[in-house]
């Protein structure tokens, strides 16, 4: 099967770490089908130059030419910019990449807590539908956001989470929500995920998975107190975003945490971190999150041995602890870490 990977570095350190992911894939040699990399444009910098954050050609290429993609990071401003909308949020919707799967795992020998969990984040709805309004009332401005939770999206993310949990040694799933306050929206999410094992088409397949739940605030608290108790966690979009940055802090750096955006027919690797304007241009961005995202992408396409070779190479670089970027207390550059990983692949 062909391997045509759209490469979308986008903004900031996305451009510094995506080449590392490509080099890791190339280092695998003939153990995978020869990959073709298609450079594609998107991002806020592109928007400021051309007025377009996500050109039609990029979406067309992903839909018709590529069977996978890697995304770097995008710099979405905190203020409202007329005409701009985040290309990553749009891509997840356009390609129906409904799950963002984020494994957070500590490596023996590195600082940070002992963590081995997978966060499964719903990727298409919740507050990310971005339906916001503002009105002016006699008392001042008033802003509202609409939050969408559907049974369909909750069910498919639930199924994905149960499937992932089933294939892990501990077979445990934690549903994260806040249905003590949002009993209608989060209530629907919670009920729907809870009902997945009883679906007729599931046929008892998930009976071996134990299930519990956490309110999102106590989830963060418990992750910091006893992260080792968590296995797989499933959450609506916004909570999933927040708890994964928290989990990244536990393992030592956002620069370590990979993800894939997955749908039924396409997969896009993406480091969990953003464009990191505070370190851009200094050649010190940790490339490991991007490299591991490439491994996840390959694994998703069935190339499990190739993915393992990349992960093993990363693990040994981390364990040896000689070549690390500053976020992990080292003095090495993006290039030096990439080189060390590539050599071990
Ligand atoms: P960020 O993830 O870019 O950075 C948070 C902190 O982690 C910074 O101190 C940064 O230096 C550090 N960091 C992140 N990745 C690193 C790496 N690979 N190596 C070493 N250190 C790393 O989040 P922040 O600063 O809140 O947002 C910056 C921009 O990124 C914003 O415009 C935001 O909208 C965007 N963003 C984009 C995301 C995406 O493309 N999916 C996700 C999160 C934020
Ligand atoms: Mg985030």
CATH number at residue 75: 3.40.718.10
- On whether both 44 and 17 belong to a single domain, the answer is yes
The answer to whether the beta carbons of residues 137 and 126 sit under 8 Å apart is no
Q: Is 91 inside any structural domain?
A: yes
- On whether both 221 and 333 belong to a single domain, the answer is no
- Confidence tier at 295 by pLDDT (50, 70, 90): very high
Tell me: pLDDT of 240 over 80. Answer: yes
- Confidence tier at 107 by pLDDT (50, 70, 90): confident
- On whether both 219 and 288 belong to a single domain, the answer is no
Tell me: pLDDT of 229 over 80. Answer: yes
Instruction: Please tell me the predicted confidence (pLDDT) of residue 1.
Output: 73
Q: Is 259 inside any structural domain?
A: no
Label residue 212 exposed, middle or buried (CB < 10 Å: 0-12, 13-18, 19+). exposed
pLDDT in tens, 33-49: 999 999 999 999 999 99
Q: Is 86 inside any structural domain?
A: yes
Ligand closest to the CA atom of residue 91: 1
Q: Is 262 inside any structural domain?
A: no
- On whether both 89 and 128 belong to a single domain, the answer is no
Q: Which of 8, 91, 276, 336 to mutate to test the pocket of ligand 1 (most atoms within 8 A of CB)?
A: 276
Lining ligand 1 with CB less than 6 A are 13, 17, 73-76, 88, 253-255, 273-279, 285-286, 289, 325, 327
Q: Which of 19, 89, 274, 331 to mutate to test the pocket of ligand 1 (most atoms within 8 A of CB)?
A: 274
* 275 CA → ligand 1 middle, Å: 5
Task: Pick the last residue of a domain from 251, 281, 315.
Answer: 251
Instruction: Please tell me the predicted confidence (pLDDT) of residue 2.
Output: 85
Instruction: Please tell me the predicted confidence (pLDDT) of residue 108.
Output: 74
- On whether both 123 and 210 belong to a single domain, the answer is yes
* 30 CA → ligand 2 middle, Å: 35
Instruction: Supply the mean pLDDT for the chain.
Output: 96
Instruction: Please tell me the predicted confidence (pLDDT) of residue 69.
Output: 98
* 255 CA → ligand 1 middle, Å: 9
Instruction: Please tell me the predicted confidence (pLDDT) of residue 109.
Output: 66
Tell me: pLDDT of 122 over 70. Answer: yes
1-5, 68-72, 271-275: least confidently modelled range? 1-5
Residue owning the nearest CA to atom 17 of ligand 1: 255
Instruction: Please tell me the predicted confidence (pLDDT) of residue 113.
Output: 81
Task: Pick the last residue of a domain from 251, 282, 306.
Answer: 251
Q: Is 105 inside any structural domain?
A: no
Instruction: Please tell me the predicted confidence (pLDDT) of residue 252.
Output: 87
User: How many percent of the chain have pLDDT more than 90?
Assistant: 95
The residue-averaged pLDDT of 100-115 equals: 85
- On whether both 66 and 147 belong to a single domain, the answer is no
Instruction: Please tell me the predicted confidence (pLDDT) of residue 48.
Output: 97
pLDDT in tens, 69-98: 999 999 999 999 999 999 999 999 999 999
- On whether both 245 and 332 belong to a single domain, the answer is no
Q: Is 264 inside any structural domain?
A: no
Residue owning the nearest CA to atom 37 of ligand 1: 274
Q: Is 104 inside any structural domain?
A: no
- On whether both 146 and 238 belong to a single domain, the answer is yes
d(CA 167, CA 209): 10
* 276 CA → ligand 2 middle, Å: 12
User: How many percent of the chain have pLDDT more than 70?
Assistant: 99
Looking at the DSSP assignment, which residues form a beta bridge with residue 19? none
- On whether both 117 and 247 belong to a single domain, the answer is yes
Tell me: pLDDT of 288 over 80. Answer: yes
Q: Is 22 inside any structural domain?
A: yes
Residue owning the nearest CA to atom 7 of ligand 1: 254
Domain count of the chain? 2
- Other CB atoms within 10 A of residue 278 CB: 8
* 238 CA → ligand 2 middle, Å: 9
Domain with 151 in it = 113-251
- On whether both 82 and 120 belong to a single domain, the answer is no
Task: Pick the last residue of a domain from 208, 225, 251.
Answer: 251
Q: Is 3 helix (H, G, I), strand (E, B) or coil?
A: strand
* 167 CA → ligand 1 middle, Å: 31
- On whether both 78 and 122 belong to a single domain, the answer is no
- On whether both 92 and 16 belong to a single domain, the answer is yes
Q: Which of 172, 181, 183 is nearest to 212 (CA)?
A: 172
* Helix axis angle, 304-320 to 288-300, nearest 10°: 160
């Amino acid at each position: 099967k062909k391997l045509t990977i759209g490469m979308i570095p986008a903004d900031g350190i996305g451009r510094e770490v995506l080449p590392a992911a490509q080099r890791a894939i190339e280092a695998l040699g003939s153990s995978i089908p020869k990959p073709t990399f298609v450079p594609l444009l998107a991002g806020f910098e592109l928007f400021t130059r051309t007025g377009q954050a996500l050109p039609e050609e990029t979406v067309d290429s992903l839909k018709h030419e590529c069977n996978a993609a890697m995304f770097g990071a995008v710099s979405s401003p905190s203020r409202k910019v007329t005409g701009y909308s985040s290309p990553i949020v749009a891509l997840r919707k356009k390609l129906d990449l409904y799950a963002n799967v984020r494994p957070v795992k500590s490596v023996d020998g590195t600082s940070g807590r002992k963590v081995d969990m997978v966060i499964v984040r719903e990727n298409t709805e919740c507050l990310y539908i971005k339906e916001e309004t503002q009105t002016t009332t006699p008392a001042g401005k008033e802003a509202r956001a609409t939050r969408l939770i559907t049974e369909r999206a909750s069910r498919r993310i639930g199924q994905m989470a149960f499937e992932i949990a089933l294939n892990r040694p501990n077979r445990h799933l934690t549903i994260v929500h806040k249905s003590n306050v949002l009993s209608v929206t989060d209530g629907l999410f919670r009920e729907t995920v809870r009902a997945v094992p009883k679906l007729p088409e599931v046929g008892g397949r998930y009976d071996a998975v134990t299930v519990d739940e956490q309110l999102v605030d106590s989830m963060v608290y418990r992750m910091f107190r006893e992260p080792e108790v968590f296995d797989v966690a499933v959450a609506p979009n916004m909570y999933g975003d927040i708890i994964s940055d928290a989990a990244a802090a536990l393992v030592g750096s956002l620069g370590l945490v990979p993800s894939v955006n997955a749908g039924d027919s396409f997969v896009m690797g993406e480091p969990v971190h953003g464009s990191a304007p505070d370190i851009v241009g200094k050649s010190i961005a940790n490339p490991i999150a991007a490299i591991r995202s490439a491994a996840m992408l390959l694994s998703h396409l069935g190339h499990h041995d190739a993915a393992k070779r990349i992960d093993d190479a990363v693990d040994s670089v981390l364990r040896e602890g000689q070549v690390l970027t500053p976020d992990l207390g080292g003095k090495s550059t993006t290039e030096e870490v990439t080189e060390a990983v590539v050599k071990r692949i």
